[in-house]
Chain A
Amino acid sequence: MRKIKILNLYGEALDLNGDGKNISAFEKRVAEMGYEYETDTLGVGDDIDVSGYDIVFMTHGKPHNVSAISEHFIKYKDNIINNIENGKVFVVTGSTNMLFGKSFSMLDGKTYEGIGLFDCTAEEFDSLYVSDAVLVPEFAPEEKMFGTYYRCESVKFNTPNENRLFKVIKTDEGKGSVGEGEGCHYKNLYATWCLGPVLVRNPLMMKEVLHCVLGEDYRETDFSLEEKAVKMIIDELL
């Protein structure tokens, strides 16, 4: 029987607003499809090699924790980038995306280096941007998803609208707002500044990631409850 190997990278440090439940939900779907799974959590103090995993999750974290792990993460830049270039499935949510840009500066006045996969920089600010959002995913342009943003970073992409994961069709304006295009879909990397249980609440995204990991081994499971819940939200918003 196929066993799916899951890596929750820095899962102990990056664990804010229910993002970890994306992994629980992914595990349940894999099990429902009849496959085994094994999940490792690696963090500061561990050597990182993502090559042995089917999927790597990096969830949303506190600004302090994201900056604190950056020094460790950057040491494994080559391993991370090479694996992404070779098609490794990555799901990155929330402020953790800053680690994949060129650099990010925090309120403590320090600037931290990212691995430079995204051509962007980020800057923390002293307030919180909050918004519900309706998103059209690049991988299913006829469909809609629901997203939530809580950001205290403004992000500047130098290559606007390249490889965006979502087209944002409804969101609130304000400092830290995401603009018309959001996230990044590069090879099998799915990165979004949406946070929380993005996969749990959006069957579209969960199916996309499951397809990506399982390929022909993908099996149908029942998403009717989740589909009803997300449709109600989107209908209220539009």
Chain B
Amino acid sequence: MRLFIAICVCRVLYFIGRLIGKGTSKPGDIARIVCPNVLNRLKFSGKVICITGTNGKTTTSNMVTHILRENGFSVINNSFGSNMLGGITTSLLTNCTFSGEVKADFSVLEIDERWLRFFVKEVTPDYVLLTNLLRDQIVRNCCPEIVLEKIKLGVTPGTTYILNANDPVSQQVSWGIDNPVVWFALGENERSTKECRSGTNDAKVCPKCMHNLSYNYYHYNHVGDFHCENCGFKCPKADFIGTDMNFDEASLNINGKPVKLTFDATYFMFNAVAATALCCTASGISEEKALAAAETFDIGVIKRYEEIEVLGRRCQLILTKQNPASIDQSVDFVADKESPRTLIIISNNMFHTERKDVLFMYDVAYENLKEVEHIVIVGKRRYDMAVRLKLADIDKERVQICDKEEDLRSCLEKTEGNIYVMTSSVFSNEDKVLEELKKL
């Protein structure tokens, strides 16, 4: 009876929430009060897949959903909701019968890496895909190893893990467990580097023996082909590997079979290999069928790179996640654009807390902006950003500090070329700057 009431309450609140534009966590949170361990009472007719990790969760889970649906499977997912317990509960309770049956071949659930251990107390997933573990929001996660420990607390017997062979941090989930593991990896390509180009590398030393870790190449941050000359720790042999990447055509081979994707970013190709590994393993479809479906998956790039017109010039808003790896990708995105370029960096206090620390600035490779012709800094922490850029050897003649949002026009009139605005949900009050920009 409690399950029935919880499902009803959740659905009514979800319906009301949608009408008034509220989030999707609350209905699930309240349902959990009505019926604690509500997820444990659900009956899944199909397999449960959890997709977690620092970056790439949403894209990978959407791609997995797309591949499975294209191959005729019924899939429910939480693409519309939050990836914490409340949001996942809302997703499942609004997609089950009133008796609590989840009638889908697959439940594909994107889940916050810190919350997986709570979810598995109620539901044992058949598969867990871990995209990567990178340095994330320090306020919540401190360092990737702290998150790793939390994920390891959620290891459940019988679950198959799909792990990134190129990531020396997340692969530690496999240490000391008997669970089946499927490894995915991306091979060396024209964007691989011999030196780490990112602002952070969380695996400079071997996690087993603390001697220096050697890399044949890096994809980004600490993700690459690594080995330890002291103890032999190295990349495991991949079961699914992406090779022969052609970024101009957004194509690669996965286990020797060609696929042409809709987006050319390295991380997107990683996501495609991970999704293929998961779909083939979980559903038994052939690699060819998985790849044919992957070719029609659209990432929805426009959401990440929104465009407006400013002073008659093209202006792209670059929305980044709240971690240095994501900001590094935005830096590279601008650095790779045609000259001349103008970059506006919005630098504010942290979140709603108004904390003044901006440590993450020092975990981002702003050094890669040296060739960008014009940089305008705005926001409460603009002088801190200027200090960071000075340390990065950015020519001070290229940098303008805009003390008031209203002065943006005069600052921009001294610049040329396309405008890029680097903002992030790590900051607060970007909206004011964006409003000023839209007025120009």
CB within 8 Å of B: which residues of A?
Answer: 12-13, 15-19, 21, 24-25, 28, 43-45, 62-65, 68-69, 72, 107, 128, 130, 132, 146, 148, 150, 152, 195-197, 200-201, 225-226, 228-229, 232-233, 236-237
Contact = CB atoms under 8 A, between A and B. Distances in A.
A62 B391 CA distance: 24
Contacts of A63: 143, 145-146
Nearest to A127: B142
Interface string B370-384: 000000000010011
B265 interface: no
Interface stretch (B298-306, B310-318, B358-366): B358-366
A29 B356 CA distance: 25
A226 B387 contact: yes
A43 B211 contact: yes
Contact of B359 (A12, A72, A195, A228): A195
A107 B148 CA distance: 14
Contacts of A237: 356
A152 B357 contact: no
Top-6 shortest CB links A-B: A18-B362, A229-B383, A148-B357, A12-B204, A196-B359, A44-B210
A68 B383 CA distance: 37
A150 B138 contact: yes
B209 interface: yes
Nearest to A222: B390
Nearest to B389: A225
Interface residues of B, number: 34
Interface string B344-361: 000000000001110111
A219 B143 CA distance: 38
B162 interface: no
Contact of B138 (A17, A72, A132, A236): A17
A43 B210 contact: yes
B362 A21 contact: yes
Interface string B179-200: 0000000000000000000001
B434 interface: no
Interface of B: 138-140, 142-143, 145-146, 149, 200-201, 204-205, 207, 209-212, 230, 355-357, 359-363, 380, 383-384, 386-388, 390-391
Contacts of A15: 200-201, 204
Given A18-B363, A150-B138, A65 B387 contact: no
23 contacts: A12-B212, A13-B204, A15-B201, A17-B138, A18-B359, A18-B360, A18-B361, A18-B363, A24-B391, A43-B211, A62-B142, A62-B145, A63-B145, A63-B146, A68-B210, A130-B139, A132-B355, A132-B356, A228-B383, A229-B384, A232-B380, A232-B383, A233-B384
A43 B146 CA distance: 22
Nearest to B211: A45
B383 A225 contact: yes
Given A45-B211, A233-B384, 19 more contacts: A12-B205, A13-B205, A13-B210, A17-B138, A21-B391, A28-B391, A63-B146, A64-B145, A65-B210, A107-B149, A128-B142, A130-B355, A148-B356, A150-B139, A195-B359, A197-B359, A200-B387, A226-B387, A229-B383
Given A12-B205, A43-B210, A43-B212, A146 B386 contact: no
Nearest to B393: A28
A148 B359 contact: yes
A44 to B, nearest CB: 4
B387 A201 contact: yes
A236 B356 contact: yes
Nearest to A130: B139
Nearest to A226: B387
Contact of B384 (A28, A62, A201): A201
Residue among B140, B211, B383 with max Cβ neighbours from chain A (10 Å):
B383
Contact of B230 (A24, A45, A152): A45
A232 B386 CA distance: 13
Contacts of B386: 225, 229
B357 A16 contact: no
A69 B362 CA distance: 24
Contacts of A200: 362, 387-388, 391
B210 A17 contact: no
B362 A65 contact: no
Contacts of A13: 204-205, 210
A153 to B, nearest CB: 11
Contacts of B360: 17-18
A233 B362 CA distance: 17
Nearest to A223: B387
